[in-house]
Structure 1
């Protein structure tokens, strides 16, 4: 008999609730009253690991029983409330008999591939700079090592888009999964800065093959009336990667090593490659019939909708790069513990995920993409301005929550706009350039602010003004974003 997904959720939920009580009721008093700081370190690491399992159990339950997503939202919120998990367990025990396990939706493998691609990115954030230093890299080389992944990712994105239109997304997904998983294993052999640079170039390039093919596959197997909602649901997996990735790598790297963290991600990649070969292979010829149409079009697909989608992708990740670069420095300048930066980023991710999975995701099929795009980029710009003026923990959490709302509106909007503005025959190429803009945005966000003569406050203000100006541009240019080319 199969173990019911709700039962798995209940078990992990109770463990998460117990570990939270131990952290708050025992470990924290030991640290702040009796000065035993190691108690929080140990119990906090255990609680973080259990929370990751709990988050995966929430995701598994949502997939297998397809219940109202308010249940998933309630389960996630309960994890942050003392005794919340136990109250939820009482409710779930009553609900378990009402929900049967649904047939496995093979399209969810594509969502899992998106999750893998983004968790591959997010696990690097807390550990790559320290890992580079540990193998002898200077501060200058550390900066190069961190940025190389996104830079070479750009070229992988473009190649993936071109090849996806020629041979179909299935083959590119398989190649990307196998090569990326293999590249992750190469970190086991890194013992010098030069070798690390070589591995980063390889890793960034092959990882860039995955996302354009995955989003093309998803877009071309979805009816137009549901594109926005499906893209929002895909964004849930991006958000979960943003929440789980840094926590997982931080905990595991402190207990084991950075190469071990990458090996765990590689195992996930190889597992998805096997599942893809079994369940997705029947789609591998879906795009071959379109090759002549692609060649006939001579690769022309740029129009107002595409250009705005690309601009939105660039500025979304430009903003992310600024947050990753300036927020830890801002928190440190205010005198707070560096761990606050991580929890603030997790808070924005949680807010974004809630908007993705709640009925609010219906707005992306009902409102024009330009409208929700302008709203999203505007809220992100406003939050950048407010961060510069925020000095308390509460105000920082509120502002990062606002940033999460903006992110949640912007991400599905630019994807939906791109889908509606491009024919299926050229969607792979369109997504290739689209995610190249993502990668370039990350590089620009962290590097441009470093080159400009701004302090931390001025950097946030500059970014906020740039985003708000782009939001105004989108709002004032709501002409029909069609497939018609210039």
Structure 2
């Protein structure tokens, strides 16, 4: 399952450094290039939500296998694209098909997992995503520059289709509707009313909003400090490495021993301070330290939010819950990039506004949680 997650996210991450130049090479205007990038996240968000509904109805195994194979087939058609309109269309359908994969994967992990180790399992899933985030962009750049971009599409297509067929054989999951004695059964979308799940959705949205801001503003910050542009990739890799270490080392035990709400609030606080530190940084060493703390915040947020979804749902609605969860992923990235674009080219302004959004939102969530506790007592 973790290999499946790596392959699924490499599909997305490997295209990040090449899709804009590819669109430009086809004669796309700047606004079309932006649309080509954004339409994947938009259709991916639609696929996330629909995936959750179908997973709860038909089971995760069939959705996983069919979406992997379909996404792989769509990636192959990138090699036949000859104009921006075709690229825009294939990006939409590719993002939609890929949107079914991750909610189905996490629903399967949840159905096969024991609730006492949800946090640890989610940290391992986070490590798989982190590995893809580190090797995906580098792999995409290397393959496309050395062999041509079509070979990148061939490689991703084969990998997705192969893993899709393997998943039919190796992945097992409980059928939809299996009762879980330790979780109160909730039908439909009623789980959204639970405060903890609401906190998890808001927290993961804020984290990915910050990720969108970071991706946009880090090259600007590197340029402001007169550093080599290659340093952008290094700084962006630092937080991934730190997060992966938290996910795979014994530190991952904290995700089952410490209350998830406390981890979420701590993660949001650390992320906001680290991003504010990025804005204030005047040297590469200060950027490096800020990214280390950003990685710690990321490591606290991802497993705690996803484990909250697992613990607050059951076999009848977990697919829907994770569908919305990953829709918040996509919406966060889109919103972050949009806000950064509105703020212009000042990295200091972008990082300061982003830090303020996360910090204030975290405070409001904390106060709301305290109010809920006081009302319940």
**Structure 2 residue 55 is the aligned partner of structure 1 residue 194:** no
Note the C-alpha offset of 1:295. 11
Query: Which residue matches 1:104?
Result: none
What secondary structure does 2:112 align onto?
coil
**Structure 2 residue 132 is the aligned partner of structure 1 residue 241:** yes
1:330 paired residue among 221, 225, 230: 221
Distance in structure 1 (CA, Å) of the matches to 2:126 and 2:242: 12
Note the C-alpha offset of 1:258. 2.1
**Structure 2 residue 101 is the aligned partner of structure 1 residue 207:** no
Query: Which residue matches 2:327?
Result: 436
Note the C-alpha offset of 1:299. 3.3
Query: Which residue matches 1:181?
Result: 72
Note the C-alpha offset of 1:252. 1.3
* Structure 1: 5+ residue stretches without partners: 1-109
Tell me if structure 2 keeps the 8 A contact 1:169–1:217: yes
Distance in structure 2 (CA, Å) of the matches to 1:425 and 1:479: 30
Q: Which structure has the higher relative contact order (CA within 8 Å, separation 6+)? A: 2
**Structure 2 residue 295 is the aligned partner of structure 1 residue 404:** yes
Once structures 1 and 2 are overlaid, which stretch shifts more, 433-442 or 253-262?
253-262
Distance in structure 1 (CA, Å) of the matches to 2:229 and 2:318: 42
Tell me if structure 1 keeps the 8 A contact 2:2–2:125: yes
Counterparts of 1:128-143 in structure 2, within 5 Å, are 128-143=19-34
Going from structure 1 to structure 2, the CA distance change for 1:348 and 1:289 (only over 3 Å counts) comes to closer
* Structure 2: 5+ residue stretches without partners: none
Query: Which residue matches 2:199?
Result: 308
What secondary structure does 1:388 align onto?
helix
TM-score (norm 2): 0.93
Going from structure 1 to structure 2, the CA distance change for 1:289 and 1:373 (only over 3 Å counts) comes to closer
Note the C-alpha offset of 1:335. 1.7
Distance in structure 2 (CA, Å) of the matches to 1:154 and 1:194: 21
Tell me if structure 2 keeps the 8 A contact 1:305–1:481: no
Query: Which residue matches 1:94?
Result: none
Counterparts of 1:51-200 in structure 2, within 5 Å, are 110-200=1-91
Tell me if structure 2 keeps the 8 A contact 1:123–1:245: yes
1:424 paired residue among 315, 318, 323: 315
Query: Which residue matches 1:264?
Result: 155
Tell me if structure 2 keeps the 8 A contact 1:167–1:288: no
Tell me if structure 2 keeps the 8 A contact 1:321–1:442: yes
Note the C-alpha offset of 1:407. 0.5
The one-character-per-residue Cα deviations of 1:306-347 (angstroms, maximum 9, x if unpaired) are 111110121111011001111112212222221111111111
